[in-house]
Chain A
């Protein structure tokens, strides 16, 4: 039976039920008749209402049908309207956001690079390292001093930790090892996850973003001093490959070009200049790229250019680490 027929039949039964109800000679028999007719109408009406529910409300089938029928039975005549309105309101104006399963992932390699070292006072890790060397072996304070390195960014802490791997005190060695291992573990797990995702079927855009993230992760291994020697070389190669893969897939954002510039620069490749220029063209703030351009100029022994570039750095954006360098090259006062 089609829903239309059901509706029609239900309306008929309900009208009959109403008639039974409001008859003047209200005997108990008519009340029972009302209940029966109303019950029949409720069951018939439950089916089209069930069909009108959104799909995720239609399970489990039998209990939902029972719920509707019982609801209609106890709220005769207009009950169906209330139920439908309640469901429609939830469909049309849901208060909860539909979850799509996708999160927003932003990649800005440059952001990450610049913020970390900038926030560190340059002498802190030196002070901690000196303290570690001075304190007598066996002193519990050496462990505490080592712990204090946690407060520093990895890039600053890791050289000290690496030094402590050869410490005569085993506790110190092991703690240093544990702290380095923790970072490696985290990064390698992230790299592994990305690589795994790359092997699955993905949209080109997802693949591209994945490659960009992979490049940033490999770069972090290098930047934080977690990979040394051949392994550093390997990580650089992987990072560059990933950047290029992302770009082949259509990525053309400033962060990626900037990262490429850094990678090439670390490798001593002159193409770094081009990459930095592309980053600028894509909208990377010039002040952020300037120090690296100056470094390139320095490596190429174009000292006049170093002066010009560093003089261009806005004073308020000079990181503490960079301050003496800028002061020296630009002739600007070094104000701490």
Chain B
């Protein structure tokens, strides 16, 4: 979301800065689309972890889409980051030299069985060995090369046979290109794994491409792989996929044969599920932020005994003074803290502000967070503000220090369609600000308390409101209820403070990771 002082000051654009390089390090962090090039909850968390272990050295492999999607470093690199390399998976690579060939028969037989496992991991448990073999063949000098996939006659036969056997969508060209586009990053990642520096343990902060890189590295080096999942990667991919309009949709070109793109969507989902499965197979421990996500990991194929939850924690003391700086009256300010990106559904917040403004004209809606990540979406949001005549009520504040903001805020709003454990809500709680959240991720736990055997979660009280996604009317009603009723607001504020102080402190989190790192670094290679 927003780096505050403890998360690294905002740096000027720093392209061309020489990245640190080292021969070896203690922890290899595998980061996809996050620290140190992107703001956000996960980035802040990574930064927090690195700084919490100054005695360890970190090597970072940053995986991005294309270089132009990122500015310079968004965080100052702590001195214990001794190595940073960046790779852009969707950047156009010169394809291997084109020439017709046959391809290795044995390699394609392995591929076939491995894909059987990917399609239905449970039914083809026996094929998991083939997957291992396949991963082995992917390294430089292995029996399988990108050229084989792209140009060989066996590659052609494999793709056409798979199409005939499985593809329920008529469009062959879409199938063909979906498969190619899907595999291109895999080849990139195998090359990255070939050259990454030796470390004593790998730590990936998601499954997906970073998790797959971890899987490859774990397999090659025998060093342990730690997986910390904030959101659930495959789930977030699904959101992307459901929102994307790029999936080819052809209509009626050939008497009734038409593609609605849903099969390709399914292919992509299965692809990310397979990447996730591979990573779960290789990682230990597998850390979730909260219980519901841990259950989801298990449902997605993670071995239950390797999973655990460690919630995010923040430095509560830093925000405590803000509570006193707020006057007696509840400030009529609704504040959405987050990057201006579609997953945060800023538009629902803006629409809710239309409703709020009708009822409470003096109310203000602040949107605090950088807009550079998805400029087009930012423009859409601004035009929505214009379209709803909210120029006087809604302000885009850009990046701000939370300490300068939170005491002026009456309620923290989170309208996201998907979340994990949002730091913004914790920070608001620490400053005594209640939250109105959509029913996503751990928000219900944060507001109402987790269901725990000892009842301690629920007993702390209700720290705000939970509403459905994409429901501006309900969101506005909930916020107005808190803003208009001082007694309710005070009760929620007190509950918020109690909950964050009891369950979501940085000390708890760091202690848990200290144990994990110590165990991993002590492990003998296998």
Contacts and interface: CB of A to CB of B under 8 A. Distances in A.
Direct contact of A and B (CB under 8 A): yes
Interface of A: 143-144, 147, 150, 165-166, 170-171, 173-175, 177-182, 184-185, 188-189, 191-192, 195, 228-231, 234
B195 interface: no
A234 B356 CA distance: 13
B242 A144 contact: no
B20 interface: no
A165 B242 CA distance: 13
Q: How large is the interface on B (under 10, 10 to 19, 20 to 34, 35 or more residues)?
A: 20 to 34
Given A147-B260, A174-B417, A174-B418, 19 more contacts: A147-B262, A150-B260, A170-B235, A170-B418, A171-B238, A171-B242, A175-B242, A177-B242, A177-B417, A181-B470, A188-B383, A189-B380, A192-B380, A195-B387, A229-B473, A230-B473, A231-B354, A231-B388, A234-B389
Interface of B: 235, 238-239, 242-243, 245, 260, 262, 342, 347, 351, 354-355, 358, 380, 383-384, 386-389, 417-418, 468-473, 476
A195 B383 CA distance: 10
| A150, A170, A184, A195: residue with the most chain B Cβ atoms closer than 10 Å | A170
Contacts of B351: 231
A182 B469 CA distance: 15
Nearest to A227: B351
A228 B473 contact: yes
Given A181-B243, A189-B380, A165 B387 contact: no
A174 B380 contact: no
Q: What does DSSP make chain B's interface, helix, strand, loop or mixed? A: helix
| B243, B245, B473: residue with the most chain A Cβ atoms closer than 10 Å | B243
Contacts, number: 69
A151 to B, nearest CB: 9
Contacts of A175: 242
Given A177-B417, A191-B387, A192-B383, A230 B260 contact: no
A165 B383 contact: no
B470 A180 contact: yes
A174 B262 contact: no
B322 to A, nearest CB: 32
Contacts of B387: 188, 191-192, 195
Contacts of B380: 185, 188-189, 192
B510 to A, nearest CB: 30
A234 B473 CA distance: 13
A229 B348 CA distance: 13
Contacts of A234: 354, 388-389
Contacts of B384: 188
A184 B388 CA distance: 14
A166 B468 contact: yes
Contacts of B470: 165, 177, 180-181
Given A188-B380, A189-B380, A230-B355, A174 B473 contact: no
Contacts of B473: 228-231
